[in-house]
Structure 1
């Protein structure tokens, strides 16, 4: 039964959209998973997709899957580059990982227009400007 399953609550894990480089012509953005725990996480699987409306039409991006064997404590791992054109869409990242034999998973959702300068923070571990969800 569902009530017999462990809750395995995700804590001290974040997904961040960070500004990597900026020039007059363009900005380069990357998405990271950040392990803020004091222990490593293993077999990290991230699926990403974007969806929403653009110019009155329903838009969906491809679903991408990323596997990261290990993320050390207080470290990060690059998931993917992200195009500024998708910031007007809902960007969803579904994260699963193991600590020992226990599996954890959580969905992180960046709502449309949430990656804007007024929401920027200095992202821990990366020490770069961007938006982070814990």
Structure 2
């Protein structure tokens, strides 16, 4: 029955966007990170990202998988181009802690990604944008 289904609440796990030096392209670029600020490792992590614009345009859908994300660590997920900052960018995160499945959708509203929105990020020694 529906009342028997327990949906666990995601706590201390975040998607963040930071601007940092990209030594491969010798430029400052924007990157998406998964931050695990919990005391438990995350297992079988899957992240799906996509963007959609109010005029109907869509970005490609990207999928990433990580076997394990240790507690109190951050993992670089992907590069995000400034051209999609006008889009609503969505990140769907799914992972296990033990035998419990967790699922959370994080959204960056159009034009919400900017250096003016930076805050101190957990685990990382950097400033960035924490998505909700």
TM-score, normalised to structure 1, is: 0.89
Partner of 2:52: 51
Superposition map of 1:9-88 within 5 A: 9-21=9-21, 27-53=28-54, 57-88=55-86
State how many pairs are aligned.
129
- Once the two structures are superposed, residues 37-94 of structure 1 have per-residue CA deviations (whole angstroms, 9 ceiling, x without a partner) of 01111000000001113xxx42101111100111111101111110011111111000
1:27 to partner: Cα distance: 3.0
1:122 to partner: Cα distance: 2.2
Partner of 1:98: 96
1:129 to partner: Cα distance: 2.3
Distance 1:49 1:90 in 2: 8
Segments ≥4 residues shifted beyond 2 Å: none
Distance 1:77 1:100 in 2: 20
Q: List runs of 5+ in structure 2 lacking aligned partners.
A: none
1:128 to partner: Cα distance: 1.9
Q: Is 1:5 paired with 2:5?
A: yes
Q: What RMSD, in angstroms, separates the aligned Cα atoms of the two structures?
A: 1.6
Q: List runs of 5+ in structure 1 lacking aligned partners.
A: none
1:26 to partner: Cα distance: 5.2
